[in-house]
């Protein structure tokens, strides 16, 4: 089950200390967007690929089957893939 990949968040062409683990780059981008990132560049560890996304988050009503402790409004992350750059 070693199909998890690690993606390093890049800012201004430089790596940051934030690393997101996911099977696909979109999953990692959603994690970054949920933290409020908008211009998301994720370098895939072990390859020369940089996945570029635009991300945003919006407040939506909590899901119907949501637990009682969840607030009435929750943040929902969205991403749109722009391109893949090669280093």
- Please choose, from the candidates 39, 33, 32, 37, the residue with its C-alpha nearest in 3D space to the C-alpha of residue 8: 32
For the chain, what is the HEC assignment? CCCCEEEEEEECCEEEEEEEEECCHHHHHHHHHHCCCCEEEEEECCCCEEEEEEEEEEEEECCCCCCCCCCCEEEEEEEEEEEEEEC
pLDDT of residue 3: 87
The mean predicted confidence, pLDDT, of the chain is 94
> Are 28 and 42 a contacting pair, CB within 8 Å?
yes
pLDDT of residue 2: 67
Could you read off the pLDDT of 43-74 as tens digits, one per residue? 999 999 999 999 999 999 999 999 999 999 99
Which pLDDT band, with edges at 50, 70 and 90, does 1 fall under?
low
Q: What percent of the chain has pLDDT over 70?
A: 98
């Amino acid at each position: 089950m070693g199909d998890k990949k690690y993606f390093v968040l890049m800012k201004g062409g430089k790596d940051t200390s934030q690393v997101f683990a996911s099977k696909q780059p979109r999953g990692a981008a959603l994690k970054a967007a949920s933290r409020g990132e908008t211009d998301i560049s994720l370098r895939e560890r072990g390859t020369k690929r940089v996945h570029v996304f635009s991300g945003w988050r919006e407040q939506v009503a909590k899901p119907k089957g949501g637990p009682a402790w969840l607030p009435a409004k929750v943040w929902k992350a969205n991403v749109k893939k722009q391109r893949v750059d090669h280093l």
